[in-house]
């Protein structure tokens, strides 16, 4: 592991399996998790010889927890600083839930960069997380306001209740898995937890989605059809809006598809990472 300083002198915790003969894969976690949520993907891809880089976003996991910088804009800049510090090229960027939205904004903002070669949107909270004009999917903004209020009143209960809709059913995973995820979630800064809910509530990345489509960046969309947090309509919208994107349905998963159907997630992710891209698409 290492700590890497990014903008504002914030130190990010990075788990890096170090240089391998295979390809680099960077994972961006969801709210309010950490890189630890990708445990099964790290183990599988490392065995296949690929370099896995997991980052705890500012405010989460073992990274610094400042009192500022919880926008997709700043997160994208943090990722760019991290890519630069590690001198990465040709990365497959994997973003889960809020991390998917951050990956989308990063790919659009740094569209001329050669640092990423492919993107995987995994249960992504994109292009929008809440309903608005022209986007009738997801939560109402008032639902996010309710989560914020709960977080300020009893964050532990809010996290526990949210965990009950993370999978296709509340009994689909062991009690131990649920306890493990709860512990990861509670590492997050209370301030970051609230500010990221505000960003999820308000952000609109439809223009970013169009930029990615114009770039013709290879994109895979992994999404559980029983997702109660980021409805499958999100995946259909991204698949329609990003030319050439590949939609992979997870029929037996809710939001946490990388755990519920980890064998399929690992196999599909490996195939996409190892997919050779024609030179004109890179």
**Cα–Cα dist 83/87, whole Å:** 6
On the 0-12 / 13-18 / 19+ scale of CB atoms within 10 A, 263 is: exposed
**Cα–Cα dist 259/241, whole Å:** 27
> Can you spell out the DSSP letters for 118-152?
EEEEES---SBSB-BTTB--SB-HHHHHHHHHHHH
**Cα–Cα dist 17/21, whole Å:** 12
In 3D space, the residue among 102, 119, 92, 113 whose CA is nearest the CA of residue 242 turns out to be 119
220 phi/psi in degrees, rounded to 5: -115, 140
Which active-site residues does the annotation give? Answer: 97, 227, 255
Supply 23's token pair. 């390809």
Helix count and strand count (H, E) for the chain: 10, 8
**Cα–Cα dist 142/133, whole Å:** 15
């Amino acid at each position: 592991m290492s700590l890497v300083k990014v903008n504002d002198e914030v130190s990010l915790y990075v788990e890096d399996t170090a240089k391998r003969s295979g390809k680099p894969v960077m994972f961006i976690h969801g709210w309010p998790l950490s890189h630890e949520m990708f445990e099964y993907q790290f183990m599988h891809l490392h065995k296949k010889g690929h370099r896995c880089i997991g980052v705890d976003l500012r405010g989460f996991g073992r990274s610094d927890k400042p009192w500022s910088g919880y926008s997709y804009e700043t997160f994208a800049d943090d990722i760019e600083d991290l890519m630069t510090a590690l001198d990465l090229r040709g990365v497959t960027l994997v973003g889960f839930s809020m991390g998917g939205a951050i990956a989308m904004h990063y790919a659009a903002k740094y569209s001329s960069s050669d640092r990423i070669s492919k993107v995987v949107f995994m249960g992504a909270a994109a292009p929008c997380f809440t309903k608005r004009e022209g986007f009738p999917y997801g939560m109402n903004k008032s639902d996010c306001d309710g989560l914020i209020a709960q977080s300020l009143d009893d964050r532990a209960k809010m996290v526990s209740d949210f965990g009950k809709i993370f999978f296709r059913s509340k009994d689909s995973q062991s009690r131990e898995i649920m306890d493990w995820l709860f512990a990861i979630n509670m590492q997050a800064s209370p301030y970051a937890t609230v500010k990221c809910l505000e960003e999820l509530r308000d952000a609109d990345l439809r223009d970013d989605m169009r930029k990615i489509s114009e770039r013709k960046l290879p994109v895979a969309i992994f999404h559980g059809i029983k997702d109660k947090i980021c409805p499958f309509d999100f995946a259909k919208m991204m698949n329609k809006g990003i030319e050439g994107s590949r939609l992979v349905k997870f029929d037996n998963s809710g939001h946490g598809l990388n755990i519920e159907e980890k064998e399929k997630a690992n196999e599909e992710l490996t195939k996409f990472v190892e997919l050779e891209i024609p030179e004109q698409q890179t």
